[in-house]
Chains A and B, each alone.
Chain A
């Protein structure tokens, strides 16, 4: 069964360092989402792509976060510099088209020391 792949699964970094997360959506899925999930809360959308274009990044802290999906397939989310409050689970999801079911990857758990 096709799955959303994410790496790394875990990342420990020191504050002020740069970190990057990678996501490979289900093949053929045009829409890709990055969510942040703080411990004890539900996922919150950071950025949404339709193919290679950003359609919503209103909740992305653009002073330190960036996301790209250059060829409309896999995607990278970067944080530079990381801050203590960035410690969270970063989830990637994809859907065939925006209105279809979103399938989530296993997430990358980030700990900033």
Chain B
């Protein structure tokens, strides 16, 4: 099956700092999605990427679809306490199936 590596596993940062996380795979994908999950809740879609090289922003979040189609990056600028949660990359395997990375746990200290 597909191997998906998400890093870092966890991050502890100060409010106002920028955050970067990424996912890499040995497989090629046509779509990369990024979800955020808060404690006790289901994942919520943050950004969807559909084309290799695509760079997309959603407020303070920016994500890129790697040119090789095997990786993706998510950046959060000027972090705030409500950014706390687990961030998952979820590339689409075929037309409708997603696989999820292991997640990056983000903790923001005031």
Contact = CB atoms under 8 A, between A and B. Distances in A.
B67 interface: no
Nearest to A97: B96
B42 A98 contact: no
B78 interface: no
Nearest to B41: A106
Residue among A4, A97, A107 with the highest chain B CB neighbour number at 10 A: A107
Given A41-B103, A42-B88, A42-B103, A102 B98 contact: yes
B97 interface: yes
Interface residues of B, number: 18
B24 interface: no
Contact of B42 (A4, A40, A45): A4
B101 interface: yes
Contacts of B98: 45, 102
Contacts, number: 47
Contacts of A93: 42
Looking at chain A, what size class is its interface with the partner chain?
20 to 34
Contacts of A99: 95-96
A91 B98 CA distance: 14
Contacts of A95: 96
A44 interface: yes
A53 B53 CA distance: 37
A91 B103 CA distance: 16
Interface stretch (B13-21, B43-51, B57-65): B43-51
A75 interface: no
Residue among A48, A95, A104 with the highest chain B CB neighbour number at 10 A: A104
A105 B100 contact: no
Interface of A: 4, 31, 40-45, 48, 56, 91, 93, 95, 97-99, 101-107, 109
Interface of B: 40-45, 48, 88, 90, 95-103
Given A42-B88, A93-B42, 4 more contacts: A43-B43, A48-B96, A56-B97, A107-B42
